[in-house]
Structure 1
Amino acid sequence: MARPLNIAFVHPDLGIGGAERLVVDAAISLQKRGHNVVIYTMHHDVSHCFEETRDGTLDVRVGGNWLVPRSIGGRLYILCTILRSLMLARHVISDPEQYDALFVDQLSAPIPLLKYAHAHIFFYCHFPDYLLARRNTLWQRVYRAPFDLLEEFTTGEADEIVVNSRFTQETFRTAFPRLNRVPKVLTPALNFEAYDKPIDANDPLLCTLRTRKRVVLSINRFERKKDIGLAITAFSKCCKTLLAKKNDAESATSTSRCCLVLAGGWDPRVLENTQYLKELDTQARQLGLCTRTVAPRGANKDVYALLPGGAVSATAMFDDESGHNSEFGEGEALSERLASIDVLFLPSFTENQRAYLLSIARCVVYTPTNEHLGIAPLESMYMRVPVVAADSGGPLETIQHGKTGYLCAPVEDEFAMAISRLLNMDDDKWKAMGGAGHERVRLAYSLDVFGSRLEQLIVGMFQRPARASMVMGVLLVGFIVSTVCLSLLFTWWK
């Protein structure tokens, strides 16, 4: 084993998404190998985070969020995020604790400034940010141009660059041709201990999820690029197609007794999250599906106002604390309280809720196209649940078509057909498919394999001199100040 190192992770927002799961797992894997680990972040909500970041397993330090807002008038998000990241970098630099390495991910902008921490920089690129930004208008293209240049420039200042899949590796080479660097691939892993924990059956937050229906599950952030609407249209088509076959009693029974659960990251501070959830609810209702939204744990009146109408508390079917459950009869069995619901929205679920849903799901539907990797398919396969995913991006590397799930063109007909196949599949064959997925993840995506590879890459950095001069930090600040002025000028002019 390498000598114990002091390693700091620098991550923008420590929520419950796939990127956050990777950071948490990476930190835990290095900690288990004897290294000292700290996580710096701009935002950490203890009610909206992974358990390891709030139970004392990991040392989480928050900074950089006291001066710059998340946006200016609901605009200039990327500008504000970069400015906040520089504030966070200053917080890391000013910490009296000295670090051997800094693990930076998602946002490359603070890398040159972080050189003042006298540490080697390890950058984990989930996906080039500029490929995710919208450029539908001239204003958007002009506004994004300096930030695209900044991303490429600052990414190149890292001492080591790593990506999460071969798909992202090739995308990186195309996106940043001037860097002339080929990043190494370090595929994320799962912390099996977190998934092997027994489910707390007495958890009242499970009350709104108990059903005798067959569950079709989607786990994704509520963002438009995740194309969650495809899951709704495919599920609706699947239901209508199978119910039309009235002579096929098994198919009709399977479809009338199934429910689509859409669970995922949802942050009331993010406008897109709140808008998209309401759009999805409207879409489902227009298709004739009965919907229900379960509010996040601890939601207040302000949060309820951001949710689709008729949202219930996580324990609304168990007690009467929220005042939203008057429609449910006192003597009604918990297992029947979802009988009339076709689509259940579960924003900001807990780990116990996730484990329960994966334990009862018949299949997991993963809808993003050209997704750089996707943690949800790995989670599902490990929990012995077959996956239906778009046949592009990372899922091509993780899912074995016909063996651990199905890869389909991202159109409703093909997704509906794959869902129907799994709903009506013989139980023995379904269990064999789930078992194959579990074995694949266990052998190829363990935290031990990931941690060993990560440690090797970090130690390998020290065999080479630091890549950039600290003078770049000064140039970065000058660049940002100029960009701020130009952005504000364009905003005022527009």
Structure 2
Amino acid sequence: MARVVFLHPDLGIGGAERLVVDAAVALKSKGCGVQIWTAHYDPTHCFSETLDPDLPVVSVCIPVLRLSRHRKKVLFYCHFPDQLLTQRKSTLKKLYRAPIDWLEERTTGMADMVLVNSHFTAGIFRDTFHSLSGVQTDVLYPSLNTHTFDQQSAEGRGLEGLFPEEASVLFLSLNRYERKKNLGLALQALAVLLCRLPAEQRAGVHLVVAGGYDERVTENVEHYTELKEMAAQLHLENCVTFLRSPSDSQKVALLRGSTAVLYTPSREHFGIVPVEAMYCCCPVIAVNSGGPLESIADGDTGFLCEPNAEAFSKAMERLMTEPHLHRDMGQAGKRRVQDKFSLQAFSDQLYGYIVRLSQ
């Protein structure tokens, strides 16, 4: 039996964290012994599957594993190069990050195997780590643990009192409260849409902005306030609900009850939200760059748009005024997830890599 240890810095609520949990569940189902090691874990701010396992709170890195007395094989799953997640607007910041960036590239190259979450990330990996041009990077798409979604759907709870009862058309933005997620685009698109609609249709349109929120993260706190202020400036207070760290049941209920998900980040590494939405038969309106180019079939399971309010609002209006389009895209989306992003396919492929490493 293979013994697998996952190392992740902060096991909170986000796409990367969802991937780690699903991968752990997948390998456990294959009979592997699995542990997750993390530098921070909060039982009140985590995915439900992590409430039972033993999660040692530690911080380790690839060189430690490679140089230990009993050398461990290392599989590195690149969600996105860390150095691209930090801005360098000042000379001091550039100098501070230079040795960290060098260390990231050197230690990444020490892994026995490197996987990436999309072809987009594979290209970014090559463009970022120039000295690793000879390293093979296999694409392993994140999967969806559909059992969790099916279970939450069967329970059918989660939306009571979240938004006005007269809301008949629901749009959903589902992302962490971070500026790079461009959540303001969803608010701007709603404002443009409402200006174009006849008065009798406006009252039933509502947007829920939901996502991971951690009070320890200053940006989460600040950006939540910024978005509420933007909604007020756009006169959207009565047609927008802000929801912080929704429960699993709330998230699934929102996905199943929405006309569309508005997925606003540009150059997103992969993005699990579109996959979640498609499995719930909810069309996705997303920016036409990054991971959504691989997860969404444009015109079939949703719309890929330029990152501006006008383009998003046109797609939103189509889904409002053409009910058959919502139905057909929803059904096509679920089939696409079952074909390309099933947990079974992910489990088989990941387990194959683990077996190859252990030989």
Superposed pair shares fold, TM > 0.5: yes
1:173–1:182 Cα contact (<8 Å) kept? no
Letter in 1 for 2:299: G
Where in structure 2 are the equivalents of 1:364-375 lying within 5 Å? 364-375=261-272
CA change 1:201–1:440 in 2 (3 A) is closer
Q: C-alpha separation between the residues in 2 aligned to 1:172 and 1:379? A: 25
Q: How many pairs are equivalent?
A: 354
Q: Find the counterpart in structure 1 of residue 55 from structure 2.
A: 61
Q: Could you tell which deviates more after superposition, 342-351 or 38-47?
A: 38-47
Q: Does 1:153 align with 2:106?
A: yes
1:263 to 207, 210, 221: 210
1:354 to 234, 247, 251: 251
Where in structure 2 are the equivalents of 1:27-426 lying within 5 Å? 27-54=24-51, 56=52, 59-64=53-58, 88-89=59-60, 110-115=61-66, 116=68, 118-180=71-133, 181-197=135-151, 198-201=153-156, 206-209=160-163, 211-213=165-167, 214-243=169-198, 252-290=199-237, 341-425=238-322
1:254–1:424 Cα contact (<8 Å) kept? no
Gaps of 5+ in 2: none
CA change 1:202–1:395 in 2 (3 A) is closer
Letter in 1 for 2:56: V
CA change 1:211–1:118 in 2 (3 A) is farther
1:388–1:405 Cα contact (<8 Å) kept? yes
TM-score, normalised via structure 1 length: 0.70
Letter in 1 for 2:209: L
- The CA RMSD measured in Å over matched residues stands at 1.4
1:437 to 315, 333, 353: 333
Q: C-alpha separation between the residues in 1 aligned to 2:207 and 2:56? A: 37
Q: Find the counterpart in structure 1 of residue 23 from structure 2.
A: 26
**Deviation string, structure 1 residues 273-310 (Cα, Å, up to 9, x no partner):** 100111111111111111xxxxxxxxxxxxxxxxxxxx
Deviation, structure 1 residue 429: 2.8
2:22–2:143 Cα contact (<8 Å) kept? yes
Letter in 1 for 2:41: H
Q: C-alpha separation between the residues in 1 aligned to 2:80 and 2:201? A: 39
CA change 1:212–1:182 in 2 (3 A) is farther
SS at match of 1:392: coil
Deviation, structure 1 residue 133: 1.1
Rg larger in structure: 1
1:206–1:353 Cα contact (<8 Å) kept? no
SS at match of 1:261: strand
SS at match of 2:332: helix
Letter in 1 for 2:129: F
SS at match of 2:54: strand
Q: C-alpha separation between the residues in 2 aligned to 1:376 and 1:211? A: 26
CA change 1:429–1:419 in 2 (3 A) is closer
SS at match of 2:18: helix
Q: C-alpha separation between the residues in 2 aligned to 1:221 and 1:200? A: 25
Deviation, structure 1 residue 200: 3.5
Q: C-alpha separation between the residues in 1 aligned to 2:156 and 2:353? A: 41
Q: C-alpha separation between the residues in 1 aligned to 2:22 and 2:121? A: 20
Q: C-alpha separation between the residues in 2 aligned to 1:44 and 1:407? A: 35
Q: Could you tell which deviates more after superposition, 440-449 or 453-462?
A: 453-462
Deviation, structure 1 residue 199: 4.7
CA change 1:151–1:140 in 2 (3 A) is same
Q: Does 1:454 align with 2:343?
A: no
Deviation, structure 1 residue 455: 0.8
Q: C-alpha separation between the residues in 2 aligned to 1:184 and 1:371? A: 18
Deviation, structure 1 residue 420: 1.3
CA change 1:241–1:461 in 2 (3 A) is same
Deviation, structure 1 residue 442: 0.8
SS at match of 2:298: coil
Deviation, structure 1 residue 219: 0.6
SS at match of 2:190: helix
SS at match of 2:75: strand
Deviation, structure 1 residue 424: 1.6
Letter in 2 for 1:377: P
Instruction: State the identity as a percent.
Output: 44
**Deviation string, structure 1 residues 407-455 (Cα, Å, up to 9, x no partner):** 0010111111111111222x23321110000100011100010010001
**Deviation string, structure 1 residues 117-141 (Cα, Å, up to 9, x no partner):** 6311111110111122101111111
Letter in 1 for 2:320: L
SS at match of 1:61: coil
Q: C-alpha separation between the residues in 2 aligned to 1:212 and 1:154? A: 55
CA change 1:450–1:201 in 2 (3 A) is closer
**Deviation string, structure 1 residues 108-159 (Cα, Å, up to 9, x no partner):** xx11012226311111110111122101111111111111111111111111
Q: Could you tell which deviates more after superposition, 220-229 or 205-214?
A: 205-214
Letter in 2 for 1:114: L
